[in-house]
Chain A
Amino acid sequence: MINPERQGHQYPPAAPFQVSREAIREFALAVQAEHPAHHDVEAARELGHRDLVAPPSFAVVIAQRAEAAVVNDAEAGIDFSRVVHAEERFTHHSPILAGDTLSSQVTLERIRTMGAGAMVTTVVQISAEDGSARTTVTSSLLVRNSGDDT
Protein backbone atom coordinates (compact mmCIF):
# COMPACT_ATOMS: atom_id res chain seq x y z
CA MET A 1 0.00 0.00 0.00
CA ILE A 2 1.05 3.55 -0.67
CA ASN A 3 2.25 5.42 2.37
CA PRO A 4 0.84 8.99 2.29
CA GLU A 5 3.26 9.91 5.12
CA ARG A 6 6.04 9.88 2.52
CA GLN A 7 4.64 13.03 0.89
CA GLY A 8 7.25 15.78 0.89
CA HIS A 9 10.20 13.42 1.25
CA GLN A 10 13.33 14.57 -0.56
CA TYR A 11 15.78 11.91 -1.69
CA PRO A 12 19.58 12.19 -2.03
CA PRO A 13 20.80 13.57 -5.39
CA ALA A 14 21.47 11.14 -8.25
CA ALA A 15 24.97 10.77 -9.70
CA PRO A 16 25.89 13.72 -11.98
CA PHE A 17 24.79 13.29 -15.61
CA GLN A 18 27.15 14.31 -18.41
CA VAL A 19 25.25 15.44 -21.50
CA SER A 20 27.05 14.37 -24.68
CA ARG A 21 26.48 15.50 -28.26
CA GLU A 22 25.88 11.85 -29.16
CA ALA A 23 23.13 11.48 -26.53
CA ILE A 24 21.40 14.64 -27.80
CA ARG A 25 21.60 13.51 -31.44
CA GLU A 26 20.38 10.01 -30.62
CA PHE A 27 17.45 11.37 -28.58
CA ALA A 28 16.59 13.93 -31.29
CA LEU A 29 16.51 11.17 -33.92
CA ALA A 30 14.31 9.03 -31.68
CA VAL A 31 11.73 11.81 -31.24
CA GLN A 32 11.91 12.76 -34.94
CA ALA A 33 13.17 16.24 -34.04
CA GLU A 34 14.42 17.96 -37.16
CA HIS A 35 15.56 21.30 -35.78
CA PRO A 36 19.26 21.62 -36.78
CA ALA A 37 20.30 22.93 -33.33
CA HIS A 38 19.91 19.33 -32.04
CA HIS A 39 22.23 17.90 -34.70
CA ASP A 40 24.67 20.52 -35.99
CA VAL A 41 26.97 22.38 -33.58
CA GLU A 42 27.37 25.32 -36.00
CA ALA A 43 23.59 25.73 -36.25
CA ALA A 44 23.35 25.77 -32.45
CA ARG A 45 26.16 28.37 -32.21
CA GLU A 46 24.46 30.61 -34.79
CA LEU A 47 21.54 30.80 -32.36
CA GLY A 48 23.93 31.85 -29.59
CA HIS A 49 24.21 28.49 -27.81
CA ARG A 50 27.57 27.14 -26.66
CA ASP A 51 26.86 23.65 -28.10
CA LEU A 52 24.02 21.34 -29.29
CA VAL A 53 20.65 22.08 -27.67
CA ALA A 54 18.79 19.13 -26.14
CA PRO A 55 15.18 18.63 -27.31
CA PRO A 56 12.66 20.04 -24.78
CA SER A 57 11.77 16.58 -23.42
CA PHE A 58 15.38 15.30 -23.14
CA ALA A 59 15.34 16.19 -19.43
CA VAL A 60 13.23 13.05 -18.85
CA VAL A 61 16.41 10.99 -19.35
CA ILE A 62 18.08 12.78 -16.44
CA ALA A 63 14.91 12.98 -14.33
CA GLN A 64 14.22 9.26 -14.39
CA ARG A 65 17.62 8.52 -12.84
CA ALA A 66 16.63 10.68 -9.89
CA GLU A 67 13.12 9.17 -9.84
CA ALA A 68 14.68 5.72 -9.40
CA ALA A 69 15.12 6.67 -5.72
CA VAL A 70 11.32 6.77 -5.38
CA VAL A 71 10.92 3.50 -7.28
CA ASN A 72 13.38 1.83 -4.91
CA ASP A 73 11.92 3.38 -1.75
CA ALA A 74 10.22 0.53 0.13
CA GLU A 75 8.79 3.01 2.62
CA ALA A 76 6.82 4.81 -0.12
CA GLY A 77 5.11 1.51 -0.98
CA ILE A 78 4.45 2.35 -4.63
CA ASP A 79 3.96 -0.72 -6.85
CA PHE A 80 5.52 0.46 -10.13
CA SER A 81 4.18 -2.53 -12.05
CA ARG A 82 0.78 -0.87 -11.60
CA VAL A 83 1.61 2.61 -12.77
CA VAL A 84 0.22 4.64 -15.66
CA HIS A 85 2.00 7.84 -16.68
CA ALA A 86 -0.64 10.59 -16.38
CA GLU A 87 1.15 13.89 -16.84
CA GLU A 88 4.59 15.39 -17.50
CA ARG A 89 5.91 18.94 -17.39
CA PHE A 90 9.30 20.48 -18.14
CA THR A 91 10.11 23.98 -16.97
CA HIS A 92 13.39 25.12 -18.51
CA HIS A 93 15.18 27.86 -16.61
CA SER A 94 17.87 27.68 -19.30
CA PRO A 95 18.33 25.12 -22.12
CA ILE A 96 20.23 21.87 -21.55
CA LEU A 97 23.32 21.83 -23.79
CA ALA A 98 25.93 19.27 -24.81
CA GLY A 99 28.87 19.45 -22.43
CA ASP A 100 26.72 20.15 -19.37
CA THR A 101 27.28 18.16 -16.19
CA LEU A 102 23.96 18.15 -14.36
CA SER A 103 22.88 17.06 -10.93
CA SER A 104 19.33 16.02 -10.14
CA GLN A 105 17.32 15.52 -7.00
CA VAL A 106 13.80 14.20 -6.61
CA THR A 107 11.08 15.11 -4.12
CA LEU A 108 7.91 13.07 -3.62
CA GLU A 109 5.83 16.20 -3.95
CA ARG A 110 2.32 14.87 -3.54
CA ILE A 111 0.42 11.66 -2.80
CA ARG A 112 -3.29 11.98 -3.43
CA THR A 113 -5.12 8.77 -2.54
CA MET A 114 -8.21 8.05 -4.61
CA GLY A 115 -10.73 5.23 -4.73
CA ALA A 116 -8.79 2.87 -6.95
CA GLY A 117 -5.27 3.91 -5.94
CA ALA A 118 -3.36 7.16 -5.87
CA MET A 119 -1.97 9.99 -7.96
CA VAL A 120 1.71 10.40 -7.16
CA THR A 121 3.55 13.55 -8.24
CA THR A 122 7.34 13.78 -8.23
CA VAL A 123 9.41 16.90 -8.85
CA VAL A 124 13.01 16.63 -10.05
CA GLN A 125 15.25 19.68 -9.85
CA ILE A 126 18.04 19.55 -12.42
CA SER A 127 20.93 21.92 -11.72
CA ALA A 128 24.21 22.91 -13.32
CA GLU A 129 27.58 22.51 -11.60
CA ASP A 130 27.46 26.09 -10.30
CA GLY A 131 24.18 25.24 -8.55
CA SER A 132 21.96 27.27 -10.89
CA ALA A 133 18.58 25.70 -11.71
CA ARG A 134 18.41 24.31 -15.24
CA THR A 135 15.15 22.36 -15.53
CA THR A 136 12.29 21.36 -13.25
CA VAL A 137 10.59 18.09 -14.24
CA THR A 138 7.16 17.37 -12.77
CA SER A 139 5.76 13.90 -13.33
CA SER A 140 2.40 12.50 -12.24
CA LEU A 141 1.72 8.79 -12.07
CA LEU A 142 -1.55 7.02 -11.52
CA VAL A 143 -0.94 4.04 -9.23
CA ARG A 144 -3.47 1.25 -8.82
CA ASN A 145 -3.54 -0.55 -5.48
CA SER A 146 -2.61 -4.22 -5.67
CA GLY A 147 -5.51 -6.64 -5.56
CA ASP A 148 -7.51 -4.12 -7.51
CA ASP A 149 -7.64 -5.89 -10.84
CA THR A 150 -11.41 -5.96 -11.32
Chain B
Amino acid sequence: MSTPVFEELEKGQQIGTRELSFSRADLIRYAAASGDHNPIHWNDRFAREVGLDGVIAHGMLTMGSAVDLVSVWAGDPGAIVDYQSRFTKPVPVPDAASGSPETPTARLQLSGKIGAVDAEQRRVRIDLSVELLTEPAAEEEPGRGAHPDPVRTKVLAKSQAVVQL
Protein backbone atom coordinates (compact mmCIF):
# COMPACT_ATOMS: atom_id res chain seq x y z
CA MET B 1 0.00 0.00 0.00
CA SER B 2 1.42 3.38 -0.96
CA THR B 3 1.32 6.14 1.61
CA PRO B 4 0.86 9.84 0.86
CA VAL B 5 4.01 11.96 0.62
CA PHE B 6 3.45 14.82 3.06
CA GLU B 7 5.41 17.39 1.05
CA GLU B 8 3.18 16.84 -1.99
CA LEU B 9 -0.12 17.39 -0.18
CA GLU B 10 -2.10 20.57 -0.73
CA LYS B 11 -5.44 21.90 0.42
CA GLY B 12 -8.18 21.05 -2.05
CA GLN B 13 -6.67 17.77 -3.36
CA GLN B 14 -9.13 14.91 -3.73
CA ILE B 15 -8.26 11.70 -1.88
CA GLY B 16 -10.88 9.54 -3.58
CA THR B 17 -14.52 8.57 -3.80
CA ARG B 18 -16.52 5.51 -2.87
CA GLU B 19 -20.12 4.38 -3.10
CA LEU B 20 -21.63 2.88 0.03
CA SER B 21 -24.89 0.99 0.30
CA PHE B 22 -26.91 -0.16 3.30
CA SER B 23 -29.41 -3.00 3.55
CA ARG B 24 -31.62 -4.00 6.47
CA ALA B 25 -29.14 -6.81 7.11
CA ASP B 26 -26.32 -4.21 7.35
CA LEU B 27 -28.28 -2.40 10.10
CA ILE B 28 -28.70 -5.64 12.06
CA ARG B 29 -24.97 -6.35 11.65
CA TYR B 30 -24.10 -2.89 12.96
CA ALA B 31 -26.52 -3.24 15.88
CA ALA B 32 -24.85 -6.52 16.86
CA ALA B 33 -21.27 -5.24 16.43
CA SER B 34 -21.85 -1.93 18.21
CA GLY B 35 -24.33 -2.93 20.90
CA ASP B 36 -26.75 -0.19 19.74
CA HIS B 37 -30.07 -2.04 19.59
CA ASN B 38 -32.38 0.98 19.35
CA PRO B 39 -35.47 -0.37 17.52
CA ILE B 40 -35.67 2.69 15.22
CA HIS B 41 -32.89 0.90 13.32
CA TRP B 42 -34.78 -2.36 12.73
CA ASN B 43 -38.51 -2.04 13.47
CA ASP B 44 -40.68 0.03 11.09
CA ARG B 45 -43.70 0.17 13.38
CA PHE B 46 -41.65 1.50 16.29
CA ALA B 47 -39.84 4.00 14.04
CA ARG B 48 -43.19 5.39 12.84
CA GLU B 49 -44.51 5.58 16.39
CA VAL B 50 -41.66 7.93 17.30
CA GLY B 51 -42.31 10.16 14.30
CA LEU B 52 -39.99 8.78 11.61
CA ASP B 53 -41.14 7.59 8.18
CA GLY B 54 -39.63 4.18 8.87
CA VAL B 55 -36.37 2.50 9.83
CA ILE B 56 -33.24 4.68 9.55
CA ALA B 57 -29.55 3.77 9.65
CA HIS B 58 -27.53 4.40 12.82
CA GLY B 59 -25.79 7.77 12.41
CA MET B 60 -22.72 6.00 13.75
CA LEU B 61 -22.97 3.40 10.95
CA THR B 62 -22.79 6.17 8.35
CA MET B 63 -20.00 7.94 10.19
CA GLY B 64 -18.11 4.68 10.81
CA SER B 65 -18.42 3.56 7.19
CA ALA B 66 -17.21 6.86 5.73
CA VAL B 67 -13.80 6.88 7.41
CA ASP B 68 -12.32 3.76 5.77
CA LEU B 69 -11.68 5.91 2.68
CA VAL B 70 -9.28 7.92 4.86
CA SER B 71 -7.70 4.82 6.48
CA VAL B 72 -6.92 3.32 3.07
CA TRP B 73 -5.60 6.64 1.72
CA ALA B 74 -3.40 7.19 4.80
CA GLY B 75 -2.14 3.59 4.67
CA ASP B 76 -2.70 3.11 8.41
CA PRO B 77 -5.99 3.51 10.33
CA GLY B 78 -3.87 4.19 13.43
CA ALA B 79 -2.74 7.46 11.81
CA ILE B 80 -6.23 8.95 12.25
CA VAL B 81 -5.88 11.02 15.42
CA ASP B 82 -9.24 12.78 15.33
CA TYR B 83 -12.56 12.11 13.62
CA GLN B 84 -15.80 14.04 14.01
CA SER B 85 -19.19 14.39 12.33
CA ARG B 86 -22.51 16.14 12.73
CA PHE B 87 -25.63 14.20 11.86
CA THR B 88 -27.80 16.44 9.74
CA LYS B 89 -30.32 14.19 7.97
CA PRO B 90 -31.48 10.61 8.57
CA VAL B 91 -30.65 7.80 6.14
CA PRO B 92 -33.89 5.84 5.54
CA VAL B 93 -33.31 2.13 4.93
CA PRO B 94 -36.66 0.66 3.80
CA ASP B 95 -37.33 -3.07 3.72
CA ALA B 96 -36.49 -4.55 0.30
CA ALA B 97 -39.64 -5.04 -1.80
CA SER B 98 -39.00 -8.78 -1.98
CA GLY B 99 -36.33 -11.40 -1.49
CA SER B 100 -33.22 -11.18 0.69
CA PRO B 101 -32.92 -8.50 3.42
CA GLU B 102 -29.29 -8.22 2.21
CA THR B 103 -30.61 -6.23 -0.80
CA PRO B 104 -29.31 -2.65 -0.42
CA THR B 105 -32.07 -0.04 -0.16
CA ALA B 106 -29.97 3.06 0.60
CA ARG B 107 -27.16 4.40 -1.56
CA LEU B 108 -24.55 6.93 -0.39
CA GLN B 109 -21.87 8.77 -2.33
CA LEU B 110 -18.71 9.42 -0.37
CA SER B 111 -15.78 11.64 -1.29
CA GLY B 112 -12.87 13.17 0.55
CA LYS B 113 -10.56 16.11 -0.01
CA ILE B 114 -7.77 17.79 1.89
CA GLY B 115 -9.24 20.61 3.98
CA ALA B 116 -6.07 21.78 5.72
CA VAL B 117 -2.37 20.94 5.98
CA ASP B 118 -0.44 21.58 9.20
CA ALA B 119 3.24 21.48 8.23
CA GLU B 120 4.49 21.97 11.79
CA GLN B 121 2.64 18.97 13.22
CA ARG B 122 2.69 17.00 9.91
CA ARG B 123 -1.07 16.64 10.12
CA VAL B 124 -3.63 16.73 7.33
CA ARG B 125 -7.35 17.32 7.77
CA ILE B 126 -9.54 15.35 5.38
CA ASP B 127 -13.03 16.76 4.81
CA LEU B 128 -15.54 14.06 3.92
CA SER B 129 -18.70 14.60 1.91
CA VAL B 130 -21.42 11.97 2.47
CA GLU B 131 -24.55 12.28 0.34
CA LEU B 132 -27.64 10.11 0.25
CA LEU B 133 -28.70 9.35 -3.34
CA THR B 134 -32.42 8.97 -3.94
CA GLU B 135 -34.49 8.68 -7.10
CA PRO B 136 -36.40 11.86 -7.90
CA ALA B 137 -40.18 11.60 -7.75
CA ALA B 138 -41.45 11.04 -11.31
CA GLU B 139 -43.75 14.08 -11.41
CA GLU B 140 -41.00 16.43 -10.19
CA GLU B 141 -38.67 15.63 -13.05
CA PRO B 142 -40.72 15.40 -16.24
CA GLY B 143 -39.05 14.24 -19.41
CA ARG B 144 -35.75 13.22 -17.81
CA GLY B 145 -35.82 9.77 -19.41
CA ALA B 146 -35.35 6.39 -17.80
CA HIS B 147 -32.30 7.36 -15.68
CA PRO B 148 -32.77 10.80 -14.17
CA ASP B 149 -30.01 12.18 -11.94
CA PRO B 150 -30.46 11.16 -8.32
CA VAL B 151 -31.39 13.70 -5.67
CA ARG B 152 -28.40 14.31 -3.36
CA THR B 153 -28.89 14.99 0.34
CA LYS B 154 -25.97 15.69 2.69
CA VAL B 155 -26.37 13.39 5.70
CA LEU B 156 -23.17 14.33 7.57
CA ALA B 157 -21.79 17.83 8.10
CA LYS B 158 -18.38 18.89 9.37
CA SER B 159 -17.21 15.31 8.83
CA GLN B 160 -13.47 15.68 9.34
CA ALA B 161 -10.65 13.23 9.94
CA VAL B 162 -7.20 14.42 11.02
CA VAL B 163 -4.32 12.21 9.85
CA GLN B 164 -0.87 12.25 11.46
CA LEU B 165 1.81 11.61 8.80
Residues on A lying within 8 angstroms of B by beta carbon are 23, 26-27, 29-35, 37-38, 47, 49, 53-57, 60-61, 64-65, 81, 84-95, 138
Contact = CB atoms under 8 A, between A and B. Distances in A.
Interface string B74-90: 01111011111111000
A150 B22 CA distance: 31
A86 B67 CA distance: 18
B114 to A, nearest CB: 17
B63 A57 contact: yes
Closest 6 CB pairs of A and B: A31-B64, A95-B78, A89-B84, A30-B33, A57-B64, A33-B68
A81 to B, nearest CB: 7
A87 B84 contact: yes
B83 A90 contact: yes
A32 B78 contact: no
Interface in B41-98: 50, 59-61, 63-65, 67-68, 70-72, 75-78, 80-87
A88 B78 contact: no
Interface residues of B, number: 34
Interface stretch (B8-16, B24-32, B147-155): B24-32
Contact of B68 (A55, A64, A88): A55
B130 interface: no
Interface of B: 20, 26, 29-30, 32-36, 50, 59-61, 63-65, 67-68, 70-72, 75-78, 80-87, 161
A65 B34 CA distance: 11
Contacts of B50: 81
Contact of A92 (B60, B70, B75, B80): B80
Given A30-B32, A55-B68, A81-B50, A35 B82 contact: no
B78 A53 contact: yes
A26 B32 contact: yes
Contact of B71 (A30, A35, A91): A35
